[in-house]
Structure formats: structure tokens, C-alpha cells
């Protein structure tokens, strides 16, 4: 049984508002028995979805109590993730996966069934219950609105939840599809004896299929009772007239009226709930679907969740031909762009003969020519190193900027279902780590081969390239985790990369007072500077020093700072992923 007692939700008012706070919910009280299907209806903005999120635990009430089977969900232990199913109104599956793959992945992330004999039969049973068997091999992006709603339900049924919450799963559907989804919810409410199914809907067309209807108006509960008594209570001829009737009195008046009459209607609801429904049994038997009362499954281990997430992410990447070709183009094109500036190779620097020539004019020409060669060589080497670093950070930004923000809503649903935040972050690190290594190593090795060998230790330069890519990847991943939209995350990541070149000091030297303040935050500076410093035992180091006044740091210090960038970026990623960003 689900019971709400005087549930209130109050939030701070937006800046500039005359009021200090906004009351989204006020004194909402109701009781819903098990084996029950309830509709929450009301005009737009009345608090329907807000109430559902409070029940789900996404938002926490500021006053009142919510109880499930006499257990206070705020003061005592929350519902186990396997006991709760939440179907949001937006799509909760990756477009490039098939229906079968989506449900199988959900089962693998939320149960310990993979690898057992029960996995395939349960998968097939869920597809059969939700009417998706014939669509199992179809990708999500080609499904209709009604089919996506069915898929959303299927994803939640993998744990056989006893509390199934649905937010506008019938919105935007044609009357036939709406009726089919409503009938499916009724089947699901009877499938598990402990189950309560609650559906938020704006439509009043199929209320007769529900066991009870809860009407919200301006954050207040103004009716909860059998659908057949709805018109009687509001003194209207048809349910569609209820919303217009609500506008004729304020919410407080409706709420006070309900408080006086609720005992009668709730008694009628209890009597109606005590009458078993026989129509559903015959319907289930004709479908040949076997319903079982299975206890919620225990969550899989962190390692298992990581493997499932990695497998799913690689499947999505392989099927996204646009992304695959973009990565191939960057992997091949960016190193070629670097070597264009060094097609003639890097010529060895000649040492200036210390013997002074007696011909003063010739001696001055000789020293001037040597100076020109030094400047050319220093500029070329410094430019090639910086171009490599900037292009590697650009690829890193492209890899990570949309990685979390682009699937944020799917992540929120899966966290509610028991997905470990740590498992999610680890899977992203492992997935993106492959691109970090491939792009950095190929960039460094290819450029070194074509140019005949850049001066300095190749291992050190490769290590600093990898660290520069990893630092930018982790920071952009952190930005992606903190941003609400992929567009915002992409823009911020582009700005971050755009500032790398001008603020690195490689092109124009920064003022002394600004250099010390800016350098710690510029990954490109540390990789570029450490790589140049690794040339200290070659003739090119003096040449490089002639073209830059920027202080060069040791490779060890550069590596240490880049590792700090990685730690900061991953911390941002974990904090941003852990936080809630429901719509």
C-alpha cells in the first residue's frame, strides 16, 4: 500500500519574485492499495509530475510523509531499486540500439540474471507482455511514439517492480495507441499482487480503465476516488469538462471541499477495490502470457555494470557511421596537417665555429646566417610541438564534450534503477582512454617518422602528448557531466581548447604578472614546455630558447601538473554524474 500524508513541496522563488518561496505541492494525502492502477490528472502545471517525482524519490518533500507498506520512505530505508520502476515522458533508450538490446542491457545493469538459464525466458516474457516481440530487432530511432512508450515500460519491468510510476506515457498518442497503453498498464497492475501502478496523464479520455483517479489543481489534491464518480463530484456531464470546472473556484476552495467529502468517496474506492476483476484474467489467458510474482533481483556487481556499459557504448559507436568517419578523419588528417609544415625535414643545426675570421664583413655575415638558421630551427621545432599538442587536445575535446550530456536523461533513469555512478565513470574513462592512446601515440610517432625525428626523447614527448590528451579529455568529460545540454557542453569545451594556443605562451609571450596566474590551467603549455625542455642536451634547445621568452619547465613537473588536471577533471565528472539533473 502507498500512503501519502500531508505531502508538501516548497522551493525558493526565482530572483525578482515578490514571494520568498513557491509551494509546488500542498497537503497532498491519499492511500492506494496494492494491485491497483491510479491516474493522476489535472491541468498543465498543477503538480502532477512533481508529485510523481516525490513518490519516486527524485524530489524530496519538505513536509509530510510517504509510506510504502507502512515504511516511511523519508525517515526509514528507501525502496530498493528493484522495487521501483519509473517511466519518464521522454525517450529513455539509445537510438542506435535495438529493442532487444535495450531490454537486455537494462536486465544486465539491474539484475544478476545474465549468464543464467533464466535470462532469455525472462527477456522474451517482458517483450511479450509489452507487445514488443515482433519489434525486437528494430532500432529505437525508427519506433513510433507508442512503441517507445512500450519500450520504456519494458525497461522497468526487468526487476518486476512493486511500484511502477509512469509520467505521461500516453501523451501525444492517437486514441487507439492511448487505449492500448492504458490497457497494458491495467494488465501490469494485476500481474504482481504487490504492485501499484500510477500514471500521470493530461488526457481524460480513458479514465474508465483506471481503478482510481487523483485530480490535482494548483498543487493541491481536489479529488481521489473511482472514475465513475468523477463527473458526479464535479457536477459535470463528461470528464472532459472537469478542467473547465476547476477554473470556477480557487484551489484552496476545492481542497477544503474535498476534505469535507473525502470519506464518502474513499469508502466507495475501498468497496470498488475489494471487487476482483475477472475480465483481466480471461484477457491474460487469451494472450498466453504467464505472470509470476518474482521478488526484485539483487543488483549486479560494479565490475559487471562496467562491462555492460562498455559493451553497449562500443556498439553505439560502431553503428554511428558519422562519428566513426570523423574519428578516422581526425586520426589521419591531423598528423598530416602537422607534417605539412616540416615536409623538408628538420635539418641538423651546425655549430658555429668559434674561430674568429679576420674578414670582419664575412664574420658578421657568417654569424648572421647562423642566427637565422637558429631562429628558423627553433621556430619550426617549437611550432611543430605546439601544433601536435593543440590538435591532440582538440580531438580530446571532440571525444568527451557530449559524452555524458548527450545521454544525461538515460543516465538519470538508470541511476534511479540502481546504476553505480562509479561504474558509469569508470566505463567512460576506459572507453575514452582508447581514443586518448590511439590519437596521441599515432600523432607523435607519425610526425616523428615523417620529419626524420624531432629532437628530444621520443618516449617523453609521447608521454606528455598522452597526458595532454588525457587531461583535456577528463576536463571536458567533467564539463559534460556538469552541463544540462550537450550543446552547452560542446561550446564550453570549444572555448577551453580555443584558449590553449594563445595562452600557452608559445606564440606570444604573456606578461610576467599574467603568466604565473594562467599557466597552471593551460594543459597545452605543460605538454609543449616539458617536451621542449626534454631537448636540453641537444643543439635545438638553444635554438628554441631564442624564439620564446616563456619559462620552460621540466618534463617531470609538466607530467605532475597534467596528472593534477586529470584528477580535477575526473572529480568534476564524478560530482556532476552523481548530482541529479532530471528535467
375 near 547, Cβ under 8 Å? yes
Q: What percent of the chain has pLDDT over 90?
A: 60
164 beta partners? 85, 197
Q: Is the pLDDT of residue 270 over 80?
A: no
28 beta partners? 7
Higher pLDDT, 266 or 155: 155
Q: How far is CA 105 from CA 116, 174, 449, in A?
A: 15, 30, 44
Higher pLDDT, 452 or 183: 183
Mind listing the pLDDT tens digit for each residue in 232-263? Answer: 999 999 999 999 999 999 999 999 999 999 88
Within its chain, how far is the Cα of 405 from the centroid? 5
Report pLDDT for 344: 66
Return phi, psi of residue 419, to 5°. Answer: -65, 130
212 beta partners? 38
Q: What percent of the chain has pLDDT over 70?
A: 88
DSSP annotation of 452: T
Residue 323 and residue 577: Cα distance in Å, rounded?
A: 23
- Read off the pLDDT of each residue in 65-78 and give the average, rounded to a whole number: 83
Burial of 376 (0-12, 13-18, 19+ CB in 10 A): middle
Q: Is the pLDDT of residue 504 over 90?
A: no
Mind listing the pLDDT tens digit for each residue in 137-151? Answer: 999 999 998 899 999
Report pLDDT for 286: 36
Residue 427 and residue 314: Cα distance in Å, rounded?
A: 11
pTM equals: 0.88
Q: Residue 355: which pLDDT band, with cuts at 50, 70 and 90?
A: low
Residue 262 and residue 223: Cα distance in Å, rounded?
A: 8
Q: Is the pLDDT of residue 553 over 70?
A: yes
87 near 410, Cβ under 8 Å? no
Mind listing the pLDDT tens digit for each residue in 439-454? Answer: 999 999 999 888 877 8
Mind listing the pLDDT tens digit for each residue in 374-396? Answer: 556 667 788 888 899 999 999 99
Residue 519 and residue 514: Cα distance in Å, rounded?
A: 8
Report pLDDT for 292: 46
3-class secondary-structure state, position 61: coil
Report pLDDT for 134: 95
Report pLDDT for 346: 60
DSSP annotation of 562: H
Mind listing the pLDDT tens digit for each residue in 102-137? Answer: 999 999 999 999 989 999 999 999 999 999 999 999
Residue 330 and residue 324: Cα distance in Å, rounded?
A: 10
Mind listing the pLDDT tens digit for each residue in 465-491? Answer: 999 999 999 999 999 999 989 999 999
List the alpha helices (DSSP H) in 41-170: 48-56, 99-110, 119-129, 145-156
Domains of the chain, each with CATH number or no CATH: 2-279 (3.40.50.300), 302-341+385-578 (no CATH)
- Read off the pLDDT of each residue in 154-167 and give the average, rounded to a whole number: 93
- Read off the pLDDT of each residue in 354-358 and give the average, rounded to a whole number: 53
Q: Is the pLDDT of residue 541 over 70?
A: yes
Mind listing the pLDDT tens digit for each residue in 191-229? Answer: 888 899 999 998 888 899 999 999 999 999 999 999 999
Q: Residue 545: which pLDDT band, with cuts at 50, 70 and 90?
A: confident
Higher pLDDT, 538 or 239: 239
The three three-digit cell numbers of residue 267, written as one number:
469508502
Give the number of other Cβ atoms within 10 Å of residue 566's Cβ: 18
Report pLDDT for 200: 94
Three-state DSSP string of 399-447: HHCCCCHHHHHHHHHHHHCCCCHHHHHHHHHHHHHHHHHHHHHHHHHHH
Higher pLDDT, 266 or 243: 243
Highest mean pLDDT among 194-208, 275-289, 504-518: 194-208
Q: Is the pLDDT of residue 290 over 50?
A: no
Q: Is the pLDDT of residue 555 over 90?
A: yes
- Read off the pLDDT of each residue in 537-566 and give the average, rounded to a whole number: 84
Amino acid at each position: 500500500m502507498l500512503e501519502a500524508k500531508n505531502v508538501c513541496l516548497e522551493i525558493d522563488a526565482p530572483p525578482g519574485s515578490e514571494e520568498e518561496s513557491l509551494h509546488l505541492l500542498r497537503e497532498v494525502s491519499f492511500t492506494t492499495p496494492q494491485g491497483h492502477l491510479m491516474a493522476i490528472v489535472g491541468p498543465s502545471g498543477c503538480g502532477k509530475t512533481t508529485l510523481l517525482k516525490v513518490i519516486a524519490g527524485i524530489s524530496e518533500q519538505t513536509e509530510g510523509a510517504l509510506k510504502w507498506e507502512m515504511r516511511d520512505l523519508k525517515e526509514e530505508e528507501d525502496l530498493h531499486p528493484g522495487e521501483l520502476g519509473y517511466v519518464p515522458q521522454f525517450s529513455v533508450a539509445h537510438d542506435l540500439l535495438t529493442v532487444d538490446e535495450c531490454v537486455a542491457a537494462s536486465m544486465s545493469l539491474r539484475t544478476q540474471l545474465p549468464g543464467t538459464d533464466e535470462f532469455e525466458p525472462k527477456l522474451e516474457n517482458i517483450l511479450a507482455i509489452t507487445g514488443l516481440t515482433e519489434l525486437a530487432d528494430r532500432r529505437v530511432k525508427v519506433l513510433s511514439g507508442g512503441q517507445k512508450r512500450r519500450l520504456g515500460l519494458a525497461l522497468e519491468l526487468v526487476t518486476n517492480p512493486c511500484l511502477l510510476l509512469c509520467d505521461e506515457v500516453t501523451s501525444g498518442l492517437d486514441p487507439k495507441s492511448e487505449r492500448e497503453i492504458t490497457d497494458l498498464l491495467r494488465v501490469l497492475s494485476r500481474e504482481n499482487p504487490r504492485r501499484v501502478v500510477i500514471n500521470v496523464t493530461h488526457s481524460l479520455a480513458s479514465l474508465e480503465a483506471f481503478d482510481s483517479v487523483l485530480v490535482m489543481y494548483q498543487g493541491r489534491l481536489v479529488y481521489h476516488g473511482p472514475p465513475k464518480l468523477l463527473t458526479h463530484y464535479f457536477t459535470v456531464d463528461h470528464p472532459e469538462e472537469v478542467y473547465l470546472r476547476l477554473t470556477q473556484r480557487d484551489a484552496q476552495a476545492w481542497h477544503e471541499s474535498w476534505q469535507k467529502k473525502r470519506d464518502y468517496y474513499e469508502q466507495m474506492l475501498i468497496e470498488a477495490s475489494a471487487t476482483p476483476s475477472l475480465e483481466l484474467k480471461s484477457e491474460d489467458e487469451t494472450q498466453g502470457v504467464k505472470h509470476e510474482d518474482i521478488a526484485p533481483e539483487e543488483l549486479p556487481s560494479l565490475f559487471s555494470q562496467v562491462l555492460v556499459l562498455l559493451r553497449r557504448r562500443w556498439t553505439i559507436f560502431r553503428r554511428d557511421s558519422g562519428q566513426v568517419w570523423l574519428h578516422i578523419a581526425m586520426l589521419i588528417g591531423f598528423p598530416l596537417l602537422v607534417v605539412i609544415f616540416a615536409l623538408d625535414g628538420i635539418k641538423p643545426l651546425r655549430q658555429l665555429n668559434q674561430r674568429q675570421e679576420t674578414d670582419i664583413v664575412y664574420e658578421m655575415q657568417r654569424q648572421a646566417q647562423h642566427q637565422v638558421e637558429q631562429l628558423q630551427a627553433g621556430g619550426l621545432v617549437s611550432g611543430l610541438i605546439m601544433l601536435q599538442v593543440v590538435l591532440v587536445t582538440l580531438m580530446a575535446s571532440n571525444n568527451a564534450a557530449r559524452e555524458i550530456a548527450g545521454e544525461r536523461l538515460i543516465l538519470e533513469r538508470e541511476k534511479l534503477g540502481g546504476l553505480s555512478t562509479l561504474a558509469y565513470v569508470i566505463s567512460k574513462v576506459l572507453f575514452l582512454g582508447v581514443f586518448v592512446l590511439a590519437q596521441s601515440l599515432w600523432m607523435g610517432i607519425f610526425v616523428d617518422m615523417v620529419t626524420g625525428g624531432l629532437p628530444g626523447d621520443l618516449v617523453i614527448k609521447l608521454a606528455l602528448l598522452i597526458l595532454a590528451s588525457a587531461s583535456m579529455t577528463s576536463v571536458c568529460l567533467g564539463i559534460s557531466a556538469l552541463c544540462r545540454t550537450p550543446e552547452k557542453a560542446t561550446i564550453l569545451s570549444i572555448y577551453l581548447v580555443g584558449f590553449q594556443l594563445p595562452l600557452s605562451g608559445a606564440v606570444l609571450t604573456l606578461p610576467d604578472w599574467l603568466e604565473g596566474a594562467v599557466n597552471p590551467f593551460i594543459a597545452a603549455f605543460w605538454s609543449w614546455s616539458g617536451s621542449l625542455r626534454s631537448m636540453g642536451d641537444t643543439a635545438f634547445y638553444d635554438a628554441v630558447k631564442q624564439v620564446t621568452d616563456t619559462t620552460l619547465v621540466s618534463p617531470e613537473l609538466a607530467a605532475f601538473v597534467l596528472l593534477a588536471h586529470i584528477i580535477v577533471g575526473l572529480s568534476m565528472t564524478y560530482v556532476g554524474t552523481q548530482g541529479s539533473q532530471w528535467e
